[in-house]
Amino acid sequence: MELLHNFSFGPGGWGAALLAATLTTVAVAVCGFVIGGVIGALVAWAKLAERALLRFAADLYTTVLRSIPDLLVIYLFYFGGSLAVTQAVNFWGRDGFVGVPPFAAGAMAIGVVSGAYQAEVFRGAFRASSRGEIEAGKAVGMSGLLLFRRIIAPQVLRHALPGTGNVWQMVLKESALISVTGLVELLRQAQIAAGSTRKPFEFFLIAGAIFLAITWISQHVFSCFERRTGRYAAGGLY
Amino acid sequence: MDPFFIRDSFFQLLSGVPLTIELTVVGFLLGLVLAMLIALMRFSRSLPLRNAARSYVFVMRGTPLLVQMFLIYYGLGQFRPTFQSLGLWQFFREPYWCGILALSFNSAAYGSEVLRGALNSVSKREIEAARACGMSGVLLYRRIVLPIALRQALPAYGNELILMVKATSLVSTITMMEVTGIAARLISETYRPVEVFIAAGAIYFAINFLLTRAVSMLDWWLTPHFRGVPKSRQQERANV
């Protein structure tokens, strides 16, 4: 009974706090995922560019970020971001220390890391999309943004969907690392509750269960998307 | 940015490298053994065994490693009297063993999927041929299935090794002073995150670079049948 009381939504229960923390986890993961998607698209474009310098820079980015622990990147963005903001503020004549909000630092850090993985996914998807359709698009007079919006993006996104799903799962689990900056997401909230109730096992278990539920649901959502976008795909693997 | 400070922190961070490597190697090997067991369980004839392996993989891959580590290190502390009476408390008291346990349990789940794919890729014909020669059971696995499967799994398992190096950084959150732990301490002492990040990043990059090289060399050495005809042989053929 005492166990249930700990997770209840009433006074003295941690239910409401855990729910809020779950929403924070999802929010920070979604922000990081979107930032990573934008970075990934740009880096993939650089990887496929003609200019050797661009290709080199993009390759360097993906190789380096995929071999450095995410925790270090989070530290860099949290402490480094605060340092940069403080310096900027001091430059404009205000004294004192200004910290970066942990949410922003965490979302950026996750975005930058997942961007490296996303870039590889997009690059592979672009390779898999049909040359003929792009040429046909050009032949009817599309170019630049229109070609990208109408022909390239829909194909690339469809091919990228399975890989993107994997990156999302990774981002979601990585968001637990942001707890080191003090952002009250699911794991941090579990830590706080564990400290206050002296029941670490129950609270970390429930945090794990909530993470599991989120990954399970997103797995289903992604396979639903895959079925939907694969409707008109011609034969082959679909 | 101060290059001398980067150099100084680089040397300080180097003292954490042995622990990082030790955690990687021990966690990886233990994980490999477990992964092998789980992969074999997934091919077992008994349904409960298959389901147990599947649920294990589902749970371990669906939850963050950090949660698993906290559950083992902080969570199991709640059952201290039980562990003490079992004589296991020395083990679960140490962040080192809890870290290794979390790392290897987690890696086993991902690794078992790689091995499952590899075991699936062993062709039926080779197994039938082996059976026709009278091999079965352990002999069949030792001589035919495992050598083919492990060779098939190597490139993907190499990625697991890199992920393991990166994952060892999480033990810094349970008070271990490996490279990331020292980096975090240096950052909070000096408040120069960029320099420390560059130094620590260089160390991880170097470790991972060497490991990827080593894995691809091992892969090259294990797959002589994929290599082209050697130069000397080409000459011989031309002469004939």
Indicate the CATH number of B19-171 among 1.10.3720.10, 3.20.170.30, 3.60.20.10, 1.10.10.10. 1.10.3720.10
Tokens of B95: 């962040």
Q: Which of B66, B165, B184 sits opposite A177 (nearest CB)?
A: B66
Distance from A130 to chain B by nearest Cα, in Å? 28
Say what the ipTM of the complex is: 0.88
Contact B70 A191 (CB under 8 A): yes
Burial of B4 (C-beta count, 10 Å sphere; 0-12/13-18/19+):
exposed
Distance CA B108, CA B27 (A): 9
| pLDDT value, residue A165 | 94
CA-closest candidate to residue B120, choices B95, B149, B160: B149
Distance from A36 to chain B by nearest Cα, in Å? 19
- Helices B47-62 and B95-120 cross at an angle (nearest 10°) of 120
CA-closest candidate to residue B39, choices B123, B138, B109: B109
Domain A2-229: give its CATH code. 1.10.3720.10
Per-residue confidence in pLDDT tens, chain A, 238 aa: 566 677 777 777 888 999 999 999 999 999 999 999 999 999 999 999 889 999 999 999 999 999 999 999 999 999 999 888 888 888 887 777 788 899 999 999 999 999 999 999 999 998 888 788 888 989 998 888 898 888 888 888 888 998 999 999 999 999 999 999 999 999 999 999 999 998 999 999 999 999 999 999 999 999 998 888 877 665 444 4
* Domain extent listing, chain B: 1-16+177-224, 19-171
In chain A, residues with a C-beta closer than 8 Å to the C-beta of B65 are 173
The string of pLDDT tens digits covering residues B77-113 is 899 899 989 888 888 899 999 999 999 999 999 999 9
Reported confidence tier of residue B1, pLDDT bands at 50, 70, 90: confident
Backbone angles phi, psi at A49, to 5 degrees: -70, 165
* Domain extent listing, chain A: 2-229
Mutating which of B66, B159, B203 best tests the A interface, going by the most A Cβ atoms within 10 A?
A: B66
| pLDDT value, residue A238 | 40
In chain B, residues with a C-beta closer than 8 Å to the C-beta of A70 are 166, 169
Distance CA B95, CA B72 (A): 9
Contact A205 B184 (CB under 8 A): no
Q: Which of A71, A194, A211 sits opposite B170 (nearest CB)?
A: A71
In chain A, residues with a C-beta closer than 8 Å to the C-beta of B183 are 72, 75
Distance from A45 to chain B by nearest Cα, in Å? 24
In chain A, residues with a C-beta closer than 8 Å to the C-beta of B194 are 76, 80, 83
